[in-house]
Structure 1
Amino acid sequence: MSTRELITEHLDLWTLAVTKKASSGRGSNGKVELTGAQKLRELILELAIRGNLVSQNPDHEPAVIHLQNAANEQVRLVKSGVLKKAKKPKPIAGTDGLFKLPSGWAFCRLADIGHISNGNSISQIDKEAKYAKLEGGVPYIATKDVGYGFTSLHYDNGVRTPRDENFKIASPGSILICSEGGSAGKKCGITNQDISFGNKLYALQPFAETCSQFILSFYLTQTFRRQFEERMTGIIGGISLSKFESIIIPVPPLEEQRLIVQKVDELMALCDRLEQQTSDQLEAHEVLVDTLLGTLTQSDNTTELEDNWARLAAYFDTLFTTEQSIDKLKQAILQLAVMGRLVEHYHENETSPDATETNTPTRFHSNTQNKKKNRGSALPIDITEKPFAVPESWRWERVNNLIESNRDISYGIIKLGKEPQAGGVHTLRCSDVKPRYIDSSTVRRVSEEIESSYQRTRLEGGEVLLNIRGTLGGVALVPYELRGFNIAREVAMLPFGSSVFGPYMVNLIASPFFWKMIESNLKGIAYKGLNLSTLRSLAIPIPPIDEQKSIVQKTDELLGLCDQLKERLSQANETRYQMAEAVVEVSLN
């Protein structure tokens, strides 16, 4: 099958295979990776270094002659004193070949086709004192100035070094690659001018006009990556110069190298267009979903909501085709729930009772805790704090008025201390409190001595927990089996009284309405958080208790359907990804 057929016959895989980027926190679901296009790029590069992109021409001078020319040039450079005599690379045995080569090609080691060296280390103090804004000289390229392949190096970084024997110089056409750390074997690029470079970079300066772009294309393949990783050592991960030099590379005739580079450029431009097209479609789809879901949450009455829902439902299969769009639908459901649009309203004589009269404790507490809190008089709720109208049987209340009379909203243990080897009290951190559930699989323990000073946040079960610092977005109801646990300072405990239904409060806090208030009240620069005084003062809509339970039942039902649909879409995306991988594997074998 030709390269063109591989692309066109599997176009749906290259354009539709996407995966969600891994990230944490609220609002992290909107980013996706175009993994289909990524797999297509991998396939193109692998085909390139195997001789499958362009036809072989028997009139081209074979690679063995080109490699002999490279060896002769290396000898001349050593004799002239430009290079030091290097240890001769280990010959490639017949079993070392990576795959069957086309006619006219040959395997060699990287050290056979170019001079490889690492650069110079410059301390931050010297950079600022000696080399920042130096007139003349050459740009100094560090790892941070190198991209991931076909992107240009960042030359205008404000650091230049003189042309002297203290600094190694890489000439135009040298191929740089990171040799150590998290970017090892990944960050790479080609120079277009003389540079000096950092000690965590290797520069390969080709012999005998070996095509730099072909070597760079090889660096970007899985074939190279596997060899690189096999040779890495150390805790932080790095590859020695000698081991890097020993990596095996397939070499085509010089003329074919240039044709391959030209074809790779052409096909990568096609990948760029496919990615842009897919990205534009996803963006347009996202705007459409936002707009139509907005008509639901902005409906003024039940009749208008039903009309808008009917309009949206007619295109349901077209609109909700991505995990991100389903997440937006879930947010719309939560928003409609807190606005009183999901269930039929109760009669006016079943109004929500006054919080100050009904917020009696719903759990057993010790005598030391059983003192009624003096909360003072809450400020009246201004009309500006009510962003939407609620049914007549509902009321607006400040969060603090809904808390149990003998407890308070509190954050937990400030310093957890060293985890005890035995015993201790399980303590929930912000990483344990997820959106609408608690993950107790990695809960750490705190010594009884430290925890005893924080009895106010010792959990009874039934409280609502909210992340107020760290990984924001987590809010969950405490199950009764976690009775006796405590919480860390990044987590706030909200012990609601009997006038509210815990699961309703979780859904309300998880809604866009509540999170808009939180985000507008976050304090801090690098480490933002929500003050408890602000949290206590937030105004929220409260329906009658029985209606709260009906709303939760309906909300959970709809969110459950969304989760089922999302799971099916996730499985479909995974299938596309696996099929794309299979096409690549079959094509190479």
Structure 2
Amino acid sequence: MAETKAPNKNAEQLITEHLDIWTTAIEQKSSSGRGSSKKFSLHGIKKLRELILELAVRGKLVSQDPNDEPASVLLERIADEKAQLVKDKKIKKPKAQPAISEDEKPFELPKGWAWSRLQDIGHDLGQKAPDSEFTYIDVGSINKELGFVSEPNILKGEDAPSRARKIVKENTVIYSTIRPYLLNIAVIDKEFQPEPIASTAFAIIHPLSGLNSSYIYRYLRAPTFIGYVESVQTGVAYPAINDKQFFAGIIPIPPTKEQKRIVTKVDELMDLCDALEAQTENSIAAHQTLVEVLLDALLQAPEQNATSEQATVQFQQNWQRLSEHFDTLFTTTASIDTLKQTILQLAVMGKLVPQNPVDEPAGKLLERIAAEKAQLIKDKKIKKQKPLPEILDEEKLYELPSGWVWSRFGDLFKSFSNGLYKPSKFYTDEGVISLRMYNIQNGYIDFAGAKRVEVESNELAQFILEPNDLLINRVNSKELVGKTAIIPKSEEPLVYESMNMRAKPFIEHLSAQYLNLFMMTKAAQNFISSFAKEAVGQASINQGQVSSIIIPLPPFKEQQRIVTKIDELMTLCDQLKARLTNAQTTKLYLTDAIVENSIN
């Protein structure tokens, strides 16, 4: 038997040699806004899948066998077959395509392979308007990850949409030419009953004899063909290619037997990628669960009847257990975010900084605030507010340290007011900065992309923001509504729009920063989620609901100590996250470099 030519490097070697890179090159997704619950993308495994496909269609995945019939002979035979189909009027004669130039060929082919235009390896099956019950295959019917039709609809002829026109049958390859980056590609893998009809959004290839549908499908997903599509598609927000552009694309054709070997090997390696992906996701989930369990232990109430000294010992033991494994626990963005949330919660439970018995109790603080508020009402500087209900024992989330007290949020503020309504047509290059919901980011005001509006003098007086005002987002998605930020000092006037509300705290007696960090805790977010009303994808809260939130209030000096400690610890967390991000960026670049090097 003749010797076979092996590929440059065994694909399994590529996977095993760089296993750590494939499984640890993880790309973080933005945590703002709505969308997938997954906050990460397994970039390494994604690139590995692309590499497998690219090696496959370059002839580097399986061995060539010189006994295989060359692809040039196969192409001659299918050209004759296609000519016969045209002669028999079974298909229309396609327009002649130019010969493939050397400049079009993206890489050199192995011996026995040949280049062909997609138009020349198959044909379509015509079109018809359904006049009876049919199986409708549209883009939504495709399982694009596995490449088959999974959820077609059965429709009556009279209910057929205008796009239901293209005839398909078993072994037909369909390719969505609208938003091709979504890779809605499939092989019709069985006979459908009633008759299947596909949307005109698909380009249709029914392969001629000797061409493997599954090989064609894999080539259409390979980076080389994706690059070709990106070079010819039109449109930015809604890119597309037309059938002419699609069928002008070129495809490397291996011998028929090698096509089958390639498909088998690709399937085998994709199964391995599936296993790696599942293992990596399970490992990430297990790691996050461990982090949450250990951090939750810090937040647990002390055992019943435990003295304050015993509670302190219990907390210190839990902290010691955590700190011994700090370097191995906080190695992901999610774990650091969980640590940040735990730090905030520890702060408002009185566990972050020590209490000082000489501090004025928070109860005295509330008395002074109530007296000052009464005087402001008497002087007609603020309006009298509806009394807030007394805080019941069952509302209190946990036992507070000595000197702390529970308070309604509304009792700590002089006033709440909704913002200025100015449609976007009022935005100008002049005027004053008008803060929108997008400017509230992670407890701070982000001025990036801030808009300006022209306001009348009375509007400016009513809606001007002052340093230490609390800006609260009152209309947004369920996950984002209720986000807050402290207004910083500004050299120019700031106003705020109607999607937000402003709360003015008694800053002579309170730390606005402490109030803001409380609103960032899970406890505050739970309050907001419990009363936020949803309609058409938006959630809203009102002044009365925000006023009813209960907040654990420390003595004023302890508030300041907490804010200082939070700033210190959050800075450390951000530094930790920055180092992690830099390390991950290096791994992403390394992954891309390995893929590029393996191909070339």
- Do Structure 1 and Structure 2 share a fold, with TM-score over 0.5? yes
Letter in 2 for 1:516: N
1:252/1:361 Cα in 2 relative to 1: closer, same or farther (>3 Å)? farther
1:169 and 1:396 map into 2 onto residues whose CA distance is 70
Residue 487 (structure 2) aligns with: 478
Q: CA deviation at 1:161?
A: 4.8
Residue 432 (structure 1) aligns with: 439
Q: CA deviation at 1:532?
A: 1.8
Residue 312 (structure 2) aligns with: 302
1:348/1:380 Cα in 2 relative to 1: closer, same or farther (>3 Å)? farther
Is residue 497 of structure 2 the alignment partner of residue 488 of structure 1?
A: yes
Is residue 404 of structure 2 the alignment partner of residue 394 of structure 1?
A: yes
Is residue 106 of structure 2 the alignment partner of residue 98 of structure 1?
A: yes
Residue 288 (structure 2) aligns with: 286
1:17 and 1:170 map into 2 onto residues whose CA distance is 40
Render the CA deviation track for 1:62-114: whole Å, top value 9, x for unaligned.
01111112211211111111211111121111232110110100111110111
Residue 385 (structure 1) aligns with: 395
Instruction: Select which of 188, 191, 195 maps to 2:185.
Output: 188
**1:174·1:206 contact (CA, 8 Å) conserved in 2?**
yes
**2:133·2:155 contact (CA, 8 Å) conserved in 1?**
no
**1:323·1:566 contact (CA, 8 Å) conserved in 2?**
yes
Render the CA deviation track for 1:157-194: whole Å, top value 9, x for unaligned.
343559999933111111111112x3456211111235
Instruction: Select which of 351, 359, 374 maps to 1:341.
Output: 351
Helix, strand or coil: the match of 1:189?
strand
Instruction: Select which of 506, 509, 523 maps to 1:499.
Output: 509
Residue 87 (structure 1) aligns with: 95
Instruction: Select which of 532, 546, 549 maps to 1:538.
Output: 549
Helix, strand or coil: the match of 2:100?
coil
1:289/1:159 Cα in 2 relative to 1: closer, same or farther (>3 Å)? farther
Letter in 2 for 1:539: I
1:568/1:422 Cα in 2 relative to 1: closer, same or farther (>3 Å)? closer
Render the CA deviation track for 1:253-283: whole Å, top value 9, x for unaligned.
0110000000000000000000011111111
Residue 237 (structure 1) aligns with: 239
Q: CA deviation at 1:359?
A: 6.9
Render the CA deviation track for 1:275-330: whole Å, top value 9, x for unaligned.
01111111111111111110001143322211100011111122111110010000
Q: CA deviation at 1:246?
A: 0.7
1:138/1:27 Cα in 2 relative to 1: closer, same or farther (>3 Å)? closer
Helix, strand or coil: the match of 2:425?
coil
1:487 and 1:444 map into 2 onto residues whose CA distance is 10
Q: CA deviation at 1:156?
A: 3.8
Letter in 2 for 1:34: L
1:105 and 1:382 map into 2 onto residues whose CA distance is 80
Instruction: Select which of 145, 150, 153 maps to 1:157.
Output: 153
1:187 and 1:576 map into 2 onto residues whose CA distance is 29
Residue 581 (structure 1) aligns with: 592
Structure 1: gaps of 5 or more residues: 123-130
1:185/1:493 Cα in 2 relative to 1: closer, same or farther (>3 Å)? closer
Letter in 1 for 2:497: A
Residue 469 (structure 1) aligns with: 475
Letter in 2 for 1:480: K
1:217 and 1:480 map into 2 onto residues whose CA distance is 58
Q: CA deviation at 1:419?
A: 3.3
2:38 and 2:471 map into 1 onto residues whose CA distance is 25
1:476 and 1:117 map into 2 onto residues whose CA distance is 61
Letter in 1 for 2:211: T
1:53/1:26 Cα in 2 relative to 1: closer, same or farther (>3 Å)? closer
Helix, strand or coil: the match of 2:381?
coil
2:527 and 2:40 map into 1 onto residues whose CA distance is 27
Structure 1 length as normaliser, TM-score? Answer: 0.91
Aligned pairs for 1:443-462 (under 5 A) are 443-449=450-456, 452-453=458-459, 455-462=461-468
Instruction: Select which of 544, 552, 565 maps to 2:576.
Output: 565
2:43 and 2:168 map into 1 onto residues whose CA distance is 34
RMSD over equivalenced CA pairs, Å: 2.7
Residue 128 (structure 1) aligns with: none
Letter in 2 for 1:486: V
Is residue 245 of structure 2 the alignment partner of residue 246 of structure 1?
A: no
1:29 and 1:571 map into 2 onto residues whose CA distance is 24
Letter in 1 for 2:504: P
Aligned pairs for 1:26-65 (under 5 A) are 31-65=39-73
**1:140·1:155 contact (CA, 8 Å) conserved in 2?**
no
Q: CA deviation at 1:149?
A: 4.2
1:161/1:221 Cα in 2 relative to 1: closer, same or farther (>3 Å)? farther
1:370 and 1:457 map into 2 onto residues whose CA distance is 19
Residue 199 (structure 1) aligns with: 200
2:227 and 2:35 map into 1 onto residues whose CA distance is 35
Residue 418 (structure 2) aligns with: 411
Render the CA deviation track for 1:352-373: whole Å, top value 9, x for unaligned.
23435237999xx9x9x97132
1:331 and 1:30 map into 2 onto residues whose CA distance is 18
1:256 and 1:217 map into 2 onto residues whose CA distance is 14
1:25/1:496 Cα in 2 relative to 1: closer, same or farther (>3 Å)? farther
Which deviates the most, 295-304 or 42-51? 295-304
Letter in 1 for 2:41: E
2:245 and 2:38 map into 1 onto residues whose CA distance is 41
Render the CA deviation track for 1:347-398: whole Å, top value 9, x for unaligned.
1662123435237999xx9x9x971321232211111221011112111111
1:494 and 1:322 map into 2 onto residues whose CA distance is 35
